[in-house]
A and B are shown apart, each in its own frame.
Chain A
Amino acid sequence: MIVIVDYGVGNLFSLKSSFAAIGADVIVSSEAEVIRSADKIILPGVGAFEDAAKKLSDSGLGDLLCSLAAEGKYIMGICLGMQLLFEKSLEYGSHKGLGLIKGTVKPIAEVIPADYKIPHIGWNGLKLKGEKSPIFSKIKEGDYVYFVHSFYAAECEENTIATAEYGAELTAAVQNNNVIGCQFHPEKSGEVGLKILSAFCELE
């Protein structure tokens, strides 16, 4: 069973529908017991880092996710959910993340040329890095996925499994053993996105 963590941030409709479309057993929950019983966990998120990080820590779900990650449970963060996996974010200040992946979330504006638009929005091709991650087992180099973000994960080269070219090489996906993050939205990335979610479901 896949559990999408509901901590009051963002719209979970599309994610839930995507897992349903690939035949996965999925539920949305904010209850610790349910999340603990999951085979795999999805940490979604849109909006501001500070607010989301606070909701995770106030609800106690942040600590729960950290202990489940330590037990080896598969967790995938998506978009802001991916950024929350990092040590900290410099989005309007400096805020602490879950620290499950080494690195810092920084403004895209610092690394791309001035004539590039922010946010990085639209379909961009994936450049796979290092040994191919199992979550990409059903897709290939250059496949397009859908991005919407103004901040990116930096100083995380050792865990980067994909990047996207946007005037700079932006981190598109990361993996630290059982903890995975996608900056893009697999639930909005057509067939390619569904294949990534399906590969995640099949991880053993």
Chain B
Amino acid sequence: MVTKRIIPCLDVKNGRVVKGVNFKSLADVSSPVELAKYYSSCGADELVFYDITASAEGRELFTDILTRTAKEVFIPLTVGGGINMTADFERVLNCGADKVSVNSGAIKNPDLINEAAKLYGSQCVVLSADVKRVGGQFQVFAKGGRENTGMEAISWIKRCVDMGAGEIVLNSIDTDGVKQGFDLEMLSAVCDAVSVPVIASGGAGRKEDFITLFKTLPKVDAGLAASIFHFGEVDIKDLKNDMKKAGIPARI
């Protein structure tokens, strides 16, 4: 049976991990390579590197650090941030990424999904969607959640899957940072609409939130989080042991 995946997300800017990382055991907590190795050794099933760099020079640092990480970490690596054309796919895949996540780039140019799926296969194309409730409707936001596109989210996600997106990361802006649990209602709506794997993001505050997620919505494939792992509020090994005790398939 396929296990439920636990995925830490690293925000990388100019080659360094940002958003306060708090690991006493690591010599250099802002080194993506060190952190990735740490997560890989404690049972993370996959890693997401999110490039929040604005400058071209920073992008080069990012690809350099990605290459160094990929050389030492042997679990799947997904890269997102600043992916606007297939050349961006090429750039990060050549550095050892396994999957590439698109968000604003696909909103600007939906054909990007089509083209990338044809070139690299659907398994390589991850749609990341930032979604928020507006007037009783789920709507898609662009530019890191700052800009409302006015598009209805479920139909957008379905359209992307039809075009070749092989996996969905659903970030609920409503629950993000609140630490009161994942957005089960929103996730349920997306799971009912598509048949590709769905990764839940936004809202996890403690181990129980993951247990509730997988128990309530068995169709969800993975849970993604950042700061609760970085700050050691949730230990991945503990979490996976608890999942197993609760009857949720987990890789231990």
- Chain A residues in the interface with B (C-beta under 8 A): 11, 13-14, 17-18, 20-21, 46-48, 117-125, 144, 146-148, 165-166, 187-191, 193-194
Instruction: Give CA–CA (A80, B111) in the complex, Å.
Output: 26
Determine whether B18 belongs to the interface, using a CB cutoff of 8 Å to chain A. no
**B74/A14 in contact, CB under 8 A:** yes
Sort chain B's interface into a size bin: 20 to 34
Contacts A121-B167, A123-B45, A148-B123 hold; do A18 and B74 have CB atoms under 8 A apart? yes
Determine whether B226 belongs to the interface, using a CB cutoff of 8 Å to chain A. no
Determine whether B195 belongs to the interface, using a CB cutoff of 8 Å to chain A. yes
Task: Find chain A residues with CB under 8 A from B1 CB.
Answer: 124-125, 165-166
Task: Find chain B residues with CB under 8 A from A17 CB.
Answer: 70-72, 74, 96
Task: Find chain A residues with CB under 8 A from B163 CB.
Answer: none
Instruction: Give CA–CA (A114, B93) in the complex, Å.
Output: 32
Instruction: Give CA–CA (A21, B102) in the complex, Å.
Output: 30
Shortest CB-to-CB span from B213 to chain A, Å, is: 16
Interface centre among A122, A146, A190, A193, by most chain B C-beta atoms within 10 angstroms, is A122
**B75/A146 in contact, CB under 8 A:** yes
Instruction: Give CA–CA (A51, B2) in the complex, Å.
Output: 29
Looking at chain A's contact residues, the main secondary structure is mixed
Determine whether B196 belongs to the interface, using a CB cutoff of 8 Å to chain A. yes
**A122/B74 in contact, CB under 8 A:** no
Taken residue by residue from 65 to 91, chain B's Cβ proximity to chain A (1 for < 8 Å, 0 otherwise) reads as 000001110111000000000000000
Shortest CB-to-CB span from B44 to chain A, Å, is: 9
**A122/B96 in contact, CB under 8 A:** no
By Cβ-Cβ distance, the 6 closest A-B pairs, closest first, are A122-B2, A144-B251, A13-B96, A17-B71, A123-B251, A123-B3
Looking at chain B's contact residues, the main secondary structure is loop
Closest residue on chain A to residue B75 by CB atoms: A190
18 more contacts with CB within 8 A, not counting A14-B98, A124-B2, A166-B1, are A11-B96, A13-B70, A17-B71, A18-B74, A46-B123, A47-B120, A121-B166, A122-B5, A122-B221, A123-B3, A123-B45, A124-B1, A146-B76, A166-B2, A188-B98, A190-B74, A190-B75, A193-B74
Instruction: Give CA–CA (A148, B3) in the complex, Å.
Output: 13
Instruction: Give CA–CA (A38, B42) in the complex, Å.
Output: 36
**A188/B123 in contact, CB under 8 A:** no
Instruction: Give CA–CA (A188, B2) in the complex, Å.
Output: 15
Shortest CB-to-CB span from B162 to chain A, Å, is: 15
- Chain B residues in the interface with A (C-beta under 8 A): 1-3, 5, 40, 45, 70-72, 74-76, 93-96, 98, 120-123, 166-167, 195-197, 221-222, 251
Shortest CB-to-CB span from B115 to chain A, Å, is: 15
**A121/B123 in contact, CB under 8 A:** yes
**18 pairs from A and B in contact (CB 8 Å cutoff):** A11-B93, A11-B98, A13-B70, A13-B96, A14-B74, A17-B72, A18-B74, A46-B121, A118-B195, A120-B2, A121-B123, A121-B221, A123-B3, A124-B2, A124-B3, A146-B76, A165-B1, A194-B74
**A123/B2 in contact, CB under 8 A:** yes
Interface centre among B2, B76, B95, B197, by most chain A C-beta atoms within 10 angstroms, is B2
**A119/B74 in contact, CB under 8 A:** no
Instruction: Give CA–CA (A11, B99) in the complex, Å.
Output: 11
Instruction: Give CA–CA (A148, B2) in the complex, Å.
Output: 11
Shortest CB-to-CB span from A180 to chain B, Å, is: 19
Task: Find chain B residues with CB under 8 A from A188 CB.
Answer: 74-76, 98
Task: Find chain B residues with CB under 8 A from A122 CB.
Answer: 2-3, 5, 45, 197, 221-222
Interface centre among A46, A117, A118, by most chain B C-beta atoms within 10 angstroms, is A117
**A47/B121 in contact, CB under 8 A:** yes
Shortest CB-to-CB span from B59 to chain A, Å, is: 18
Instruction: Give CA–CA (A118, B2) in the complex, Å.
Output: 12
Task: Find chain A residues with CB under 8 A from B74 CB.
Answer: 14, 17-18, 21, 187-191, 193-194
